Amino acid sequence: MSEKYKVIDSTVPTFVTLTVVDWVDLLIRPIYNNILDESLNYCIKEKRLSVHAYVYMTSHIHLIATAPDGELQNIMRDFKKFTNKKLIAAIKEHPESRREWLLRKFSYEAETTGRAKKYKLWQDGFHPVILDTLEKMEQRVNYIHYNPVEAQIVFHERDYVNSSYRNYEEENKVFCNVNVEPLW
111, part of any domain: yes
Name 29's Cβ contacts closer than 8 Å, sequence gap at least 6: 94, 96
104, part of any domain: yes
Helices (H), 121-169: 134-150
**Nearest Cα residue to 54 out of 81, 27, 29, 73:** 27
Q: What is the CATH classification number for the domain harbouring 125?
A: 3.30.70.1290
Name 136's Cβ contacts closer than 8 Å, sequence gap at least 6: none
Domains contained in the chain, number: 1
41, part of any domain: yes
Q: What is the pLDDT of residues 40-52, one digit of tens each?
A: 999 999 999 999 9
Name 60's Cβ contacts closer than 8 Å, sequence gap at least 6: 17, 18, 19, 20, 23, 27
95, part of any domain: yes
Print the domain residue range for 48.
3-168
Give the pLDDT confidence score for residue 5 in this predicted structure.
58
173, part of any domain: no
Please determine, for residue 122, whether its predicted confidence score (pLDDT) is greater than 90: yes
152, part of any domain: yes
- Mean pLDDT for all residues in the chain: 92
Cβ neighbours of 2 (radius 10 Å)? 7
The four Cα atoms 56, 147, 53, 32 give a dihedral, to 10 degrees, of -10
147, part of any domain: yes
183, part of any domain: no
